[in-house]
Structure 1
Amino acid sequence: MDKSKHLLLIFTRNPELGKCKTRLAAKVGDQTALDIYKFLLSHTVNITSELDVTKWVFYSNEIWEKDIWANGTYQKKLQNGTDLGQRMLNAFQEGFESDYEKIVIIGSDMYDLSQVDLESAFSQLNQHDYVVGPAEDGGYYLLGMTALNKELFQDKQWGTETVLEDTLAHFEQEKVSMLPVKNDVDHYEDIKDIKAFQPFLKHMKE
């Protein structure tokens, strides 16, 4: 298994006040939402920095040279496209054009995700054409493939509960590996009962 042909794409937002985790911020406030997002970014670094694959980080707005993503470990790029589907498609396309053979994409707000999960996702691509990590909200937290399939990124209602279902509808003869369902962090309800987030929520009195 040639790990040099493995590529992890990480989509991230620049952590700026009022510009990230807006649905969460509506409940906990902008500063707390930013603090939580920075916590999630740091978790994503922890689970990816030792992963033995090439890693590209795609920023939403601008590339920050000095931040949590170490320049030697991560190659920094800018998301490009009008919607999430177009931006993911462009990232996958660049990866396959650069001769990577197994490419996996994740976001940067998955507290449930571990390095072992990511290693498992890449190993699934040895026997499968695709690997999908379904999210509890009807989307997906991870998508991996061994060849570019543009249809997966077109005509989807991004951010809605139909994304996973509409994506899986494209698979007929292909071998698809489904990972365990996990919870991504978009709303207060996603984190209110998780111990790691309690320090951020002390001010919340329901």
Structure 2
Amino acid sequence: MNQKNLIITFTRNPELGKVKTRLAKTIGNPSALAIYKKLLEHTESVLRPLNCDKAVYYSVKIRENDIWDSTIYQKHQQTGEHLGARMANAFKHGFKNNYQKIIIVGSDLYDLKTEHINQAFQDLETNDVVLGPAEDGGYYLLGMKQFHPKLFRNKNWGTDSVLKDTLKDLKEESVFLLETLNDIDFFEDLEKHNDLKLLINK
């Protein structure tokens, strides 16, 4: 394992009525849960081949016997009042443990590939920060070599202004932008993913 690099993903505990709530308004809670479980499986398959340390941060409680093999993934509890605080605490914990490059990704991107994360680690060689823009105006990936607390403050998390406001904070730093991807939040986001649509009403 490459002890200098760390990949983090944040997950919600897959419970009925508590995941993909915007999507559930259209397709119902059982289908939204089935799709979220499929997204988690996809994320795990993307992270597993990476040659770095790996950590999963749970929203509610740490689970032992799930898809995240504890011999491969460090397991932590998210802490903080909002998404920015929770991400900041995860980065701080990683840097405190002497990681040199840390990347965080979401767990609801069906277009995410292992290559995106490998590219991000590579681009951190020559840039201060790497961002993966999401089509909804947020970002699906954030990577850095040192902690930048300003990135986690004064953001309207979950809105279309997050990426724009984050880039404003990084005027003094060198930033590399990966390709834009779409996360799965609404029924329209399923349009090009027939295998996800097959999970509806099962």
What band does the TM-score fall into relative to the shorter chain?
over 0.9
Number of matched pairs? 202
Partner of 2:2: 3
Larger mean CA deviation between 192-201 and 95-104 belongs to 192-201
| One-letter amino acid of the structure 2 residue matched with residue 36 of structure 1 | I
Partner of 1:184: 183
Partner of 1:164: 163
Partner of 2:59: 60
What is the alpha-carbon distance in structure 1 between the residues aligned to residue 5 and residue 191 of structure 2? 35
2:116 is aligned with 1:117: yes
What is the alpha-carbon distance in structure 1 between the residues aligned to residue 67 and residue 169 of structure 2? 36
Partner of 1:197: 196
Partner of 1:69: 68
2:39 is aligned with 1:46: no
What is the alpha-carbon distance in structure 2 between the residues aligned to residue 80 and residue 8 of structure 1? 18
Matched residue SS, 2:41: helix
Partner of 1:126: 125
Matched residue SS, 1:169: helix
TM-score by length of 1: 0.95
Q: CA deviation at 1:113?
A: 0.4
| One-letter amino acid of the structure 1 residue matched with residue 99 of structure 2 | Y
Partner of 1:102: 101
Matched residue SS, 1:131: strand
What is the alpha-carbon distance in structure 1 between the residues aligned to residue 199 and residue 147 of structure 2? 40
2:149 is aligned with 1:150: yes
Deviations 1:116-166 (A, max 9, x none): 111111111011100000000000000000000000000100000000000
Partner of 1:36: 35
| One-letter amino acid of the structure 1 residue matched with residue 34 of structure 2 | D
Deviations 1:80-108 (A, max 9, x none): 00000000000000001110010000111
Larger mean CA deviation between 192-201 and 19-28 belongs to 192-201
Matched residue SS, 2:122: helix
Unaligned runs of at least 5 residues, structure 1: none
2:32 is aligned with 1:23: no
2:111 is aligned with 1:140: no
Q: CA deviation at 1:38?
A: 0.3
Q: CA deviation at 1:195?
A: 2.1
| One-letter amino acid of the structure 2 residue matched with residue 28 of structure 1 | I
Partner of 1:80: 79
What is the alpha-carbon distance in structure 1 between the residues aligned to residue 57 and residue 188 of structure 2? 27
Matched residue SS, 2:108: coil
Q: CA deviation at 1:181?
A: 0.5
Q: CA deviation at 1:21?
A: 0.5
What is the alpha-carbon distance in structure 2 between the residues aligned to residue 65 and residue 176 of structure 1? 36
What is the alpha-carbon distance in structure 1 between the residues aligned to residue 118 and residue 168 of structure 2? 26
Matched residue SS, 1:91: helix
What is the alpha-carbon distance in structure 2 between the residues aligned to residue 198 and residue 163 of structure 1? 28
Unaligned runs of at least 5 residues, structure 2: none
- C-alpha RMSD of matched pairs (Å): 1.3
Matched residue SS, 2:37: helix
